[in-house]
A and B are shown apart, each in its own frame.
Chain A
C-alpha cells in the first residue's frame, strides 16, 4: 500500500495517509478542522486550500479560476492525495474575499463618443451693446438679437422666471453675461434652444457645469452628480424611495395615488427623496463647492409608474386593462414645475419608456448595456419588484415585463429583508446532516434573509433534498430543522440563539411558493420572448443583468432553481444599475439621448397578461429547476453526481 506524507501550515510533524485520501481527511488526522458547509461535495467553495508543494488530483475544479489553479488553490474536499504534499490553509476571511471578487461593480466611464462640451447644455459668453437714447430696443430683444448674431439661434425659449431677472443681470454684468442654453439638434436642422440660466459677467471658461443623472426605482432612487464639462461623475448616491411607506410595489402605489390627496403626497415624497440626494451629493463633491442651485440639467430614468408619480400625472390607467399609460415620453420640464430643489430653470429631461410595465429604466438600461449596438443575441434582464427583460441585438428588440413580486427584494417572505446589515446573503446546507451554514452581511448575527440569500437557500434545499422539485419540505428527513410551523411546514435556517432578535429565522412553505412563483415568472418571461421570435433560448450569446439586485445574484444557484437559463457561466455579465448609467449617457451626449429614443421606438412590447403562452410557460417553470428538465442539463448532471456516491 502506498502512503504519502502531508504537511499542513509548515508544521514540523507531517501526517501519513494512504494514497487516494482527500485533503480534508488528512487535515482531520492532523487535528485541523476544515470548514465544509456543503458536506464535502465541492459545491460551496469554502474549503479552499493552497497546495504549496507536490501535486494533487482534483475531482472537481468548480469555483476556481485558472489563476487560482495555477497558484495551487484547490478545494480540500475534492483534492485526492497521490504523493507527498504541503498544504496551506488560508484564514477564513481570505477565503471569503476570494469568493466575492467577481461581484465588484464596473468602473463607470463616459460613453464612447463623448467629447468635452458635447452635451446639449452649453455655456456661452455674450457681450451686448448697451442701450442708449438712440437704441431703445428692449432687454429681451437685445439679448435675442445677440444670440442670433453670435450663435445663429433664431428662436430661444425663455421661462418667465428668467425673464424677471434679465434686466438686472444685464446691467449688473455691464452688458457682459454668461448664458446657459440647452441646444437640442432637431431633424429639420433648426435646433430647439431653451435658456436655462443667465449670470452677470463672464465666468471661468473651464469651470464645471453641473448636471445629474437620476434613476427612480420603486425601491431605491439613485443619483449621480456629473460635471458636464468633463463628463466626470463627482458623486454617486442612493436612498430608499420615500414612497415605500405608501406601498412596496407599483400596484399598491397606483392604488394609493387614486386616493384623495394620494397622488400629490407620492409626488412630494419622491421629489423629497431626490432633493435629499441632491444635498448629500453636493456635499460629497471634493475640490469644488457645489450648491443644488448649480445643477442645470437632469436626465431621469424610471419605470413608467414612477415616472408618472414623479411628474404628478395620475397613473391609474397603468393598472387597468389594456394597461395604457398616459405618456411614454414626457415633455421637457423645468425643475421648478415639479418642485425639484435644484436650479429652478434647470432642464428636466425624462427619458422615454415603451409601455406601462417597460419604462425608461429599461430603454436607458439597453443603451448603457450596449444591447442596441451588438451582433450577439443578447438577453438583458433587470430584476427588481418587476422583472423586465429584453431579447435581441442591434437588428431587433423584444421586451416584456413580468410581475415577480417582491420576494427577491426580501418582501412577502416571513423572514425576508433587504440586503443590508444582518441579512443572510448566502446559505450552504450539508447534504448529510441537513445543517445549514450562512454568511451574514456585515458579519454579525443575522436578523433575516435577503433576496440573494433566499435564492441560495432555495437552491441548497433543492440540491440536498430538503425540498422536492415542487418545493414540498421532506418531513421524513432526520433533522429537527424541518418542522411543522404556524403556517405549515418550515425549515429553520438559524435558531433563536444565533439571531439578533432571539427568534428563529425560518423559511416556510408559503415563502417557498412565493419564491417559486417569482422565479417561474421570470423564466417564463424569457421563454415567451424567445418563442415570440422563434429563437431557442439556449442560443443566447450573452446575458446582461442590470438592477442593483443583479450585483448579488449567484449564477450557479440561480440556474439551479431555474431562475436563469442554463448557459455557461461566462455568458452572464453583471452591469449594476444600468438605468442610471443610461441616464448618465443621455445627459452627456445628444447621440446617446437619440439612441434611447430609437430604442424605445423600435422595441416590440409583448403584454404577457394577454398571452396564453405565458401562463403555460409559467406553470411549466413552477418546478425545480423546471418541468422540462432537459432545459437544465447542468442541473441534471449536478443532481446525478450528488445523489450517486463518489
Chain B
C-alpha cells in the first residue's frame, strides 16, 4: 500500500529580500544574495518551495578584536589587522556575505570616527564583490552616528544596516530609506516583540522586503531551545499569513557559540571535553545547523572551518529536494 505523505497547504510565505546591488542597479557588487521565499517549513521539499537556500555570512571586524577567542585570532592571524584583507579572506573561505562589525574604538583606543567607519566600509567593499552587512558597535548613539555616515557614503549599495532595536530604530531606518539600504531588526527572543519592531519599522515607510529580522538566539547549551522555539513560531505565523512575521531571519550563531565556555576556554576544563579546537568548531557548527533547521535564512559565523561544514550541510539539505521529486 502506498504511503500518503500528509501535506500542509500554507496560505502565506516568507518574503524574498535581496542584499547587495550590481553596478547595473546602482551598486558595485559582483553578485547579490537573495534569501527567503519559502512556502513551507525548513527543507520540507515535498510540501512547498525553498527557492533560496540559507546562506552563510562571515563576521569580520574593523580592527583586531579585543575579546575574541585565541582560536579565532589564530584562524585569521594573517589578515586580522586589515578589514579589507580579512574580507577577501572571508570570501575565499566560502562566505556568501560579509558582516562588518564596527568597533567602539579604533586601534589606538580612541572612539571610532564616522570617517574611519566610512573608510573601512569602503575598503571592504573594494576588497570583495560580496554583499555587505554593516553593524554598529551596539551603543545607540554611536551606532546612529556611524551608520548614518556609512549609509550616506554607500548610497545604492543595498547594504543591510544594524542593529535596529525597539528603543533605537528611527535614525537607522530613516537613513536606510534615504540611501537605498536594508535594515536588521533585532528583538530579544519573543514572537510579539519581533512583530512589534517590524510594525514600528514599516510604519516609518520602509517596505517589508527591506527588513531582515534577528529574533536573537542562544548557543547550544545556552538556551538554544528557546531561540529555536521562537524562530519556529515566527515561521509558522509567517506561513499562516501573518504579514509582520514574513521576513527572512538572520541569526548570529558565531557570536553566541564563541561566548560559550566550551569554545572560549582551553585550559582547566575536564579532560573528557576533548580537543579544544574541534570542540569549539563543533559548538559553532551545531549551533548554526540547529538554527538553520529552525528556519534561519542567514547565519553569521566566525571560524572558516565552521563555514565549510555548515555550507556542506546546507548543500545536503537542499539536495534532498531532488530526492523527493
Contact of A627 with B196 in the complex, beta carbons under 8 Å: yes
Tell me whether A616 is interfacial, beta carbon within 8 Å: yes
Tell me whether B186 is interfacial, beta carbon within 8 Å: no
9-residue interface stretch from A241-249, A427-435, A466-474, A567-575: A466-474
A468 / chain B contacts, CB cutoff of 8 Å: 200, 203
B190 / chain A contacts, CB cutoff of 8 Å: 619
What's the dominant secondary structure at chain B's contact region?
helix
> A: which residues have CB within 8 A of B?
468-470, 472, 474-476, 616, 619-620, 622-623, 627, 629
Q: How far is the CB of B170 from chain A (nearest CB, A)?
A: 7
B170 / chain A contacts, CB cutoff of 8 Å: 472, 474-476
> With A468-B203, A627-B199 given, is the CB distance from A620 to B166 under 8 Å?
no
A472 / chain B contacts, CB cutoff of 8 Å: 166-167, 170, 200
Contact of B203 with A469 in the complex, beta carbons under 8 Å: yes
Known: A472-B166, A619-B192. 7 other contacts (CB 8 A): A469-B203, A470-B196, A470-B200, A472-B200, A620-B192, A623-B199, A629-B199
Tell me whether B311 is interfacial, beta carbon within 8 Å: no
- Cα A476 to Cα B199 in complex, Å, equals 19
- Cα A622 to Cα B187 in complex, Å, equals 14
- Greatest chain A CB density within 10 A among B197, B199, B244 is at B199
Q: How far is the CB of B211 from chain A (nearest CB, A)?
A: 16
> With A472-B166, A472-B167 given, is the CB distance from A622 to B192 under 8 Å?
yes
Contact of A627 with B200 in the complex, beta carbons under 8 Å: no
Tell me whether B61 is interfacial, beta carbon within 8 Å: no
- B174: nearest chain-A partner, CB-CB: A476
Tell me whether B193 is interfacial, beta carbon within 8 Å: yes
Tell me whether B29 is interfacial, beta carbon within 8 Å: no
> B: which residues have CB within 8 A of A?
166-167, 170, 190-193, 195-197, 199-200, 203, 244
- A488: nearest chain-B partner, CB-CB: B167
A620 / chain B contacts, CB cutoff of 8 Å: 192
9 A-B residue contacts at CB 8 Å? A469-B196, A472-B170, A472-B200, A475-B170, A476-B170, A623-B192, A623-B199, A627-B195, A627-B244
> With A468-B203, A469-B203 given, is the CB distance from A623 to B167 under 8 Å?
no
A627 / chain B contacts, CB cutoff of 8 Å: 192, 195-196, 199, 244
Q: How far is the CB of B162 from chain A (nearest CB, A)?
A: 18
- Cα A56 to Cα B141 in complex, Å, equals 52
- B199: nearest chain-A partner, CB-CB: A469
* Other-chain residue from A475, A476, A619 in contact with B193 (beta carbon distance below 8 A): A619
- A643: nearest chain-B partner, CB-CB: B203
- Cα A616 to Cα B196 in complex, Å, equals 13
Contact of B192 with A616 in the complex, beta carbons under 8 Å: yes
- Greatest chain B CB density within 10 A among A470, A476, A616 is at A470
* Other-chain residue from A470, A474, A476, A629 in contact with B166 (beta carbon distance below 8 A): A470
A629 / chain B contacts, CB cutoff of 8 Å: 199
- Cα A476 to Cα B144 in complex, Å, equals 14
A623 / chain B contacts, CB cutoff of 8 Å: 192, 196, 199
- A489: nearest chain-B partner, CB-CB: B167
Lowest 6 A-B CB distances belong to which pairs? A619-B192, A620-B192, A623-B196, A470-B166, A627-B195, A627-B192
- Cα A469 to Cα B203 in complex, Å, equals 9
B200 / chain A contacts, CB cutoff of 8 Å: 468-470, 472
- Cα A469 to Cα B170 in complex, Å, equals 13
B195 / chain A contacts, CB cutoff of 8 Å: 627
Q: How far is the CB of B213 from chain A (nearest CB, A)?
A: 14
A470 / chain B contacts, CB cutoff of 8 Å: 166-167, 196-197, 200
- B194: nearest chain-A partner, CB-CB: A627
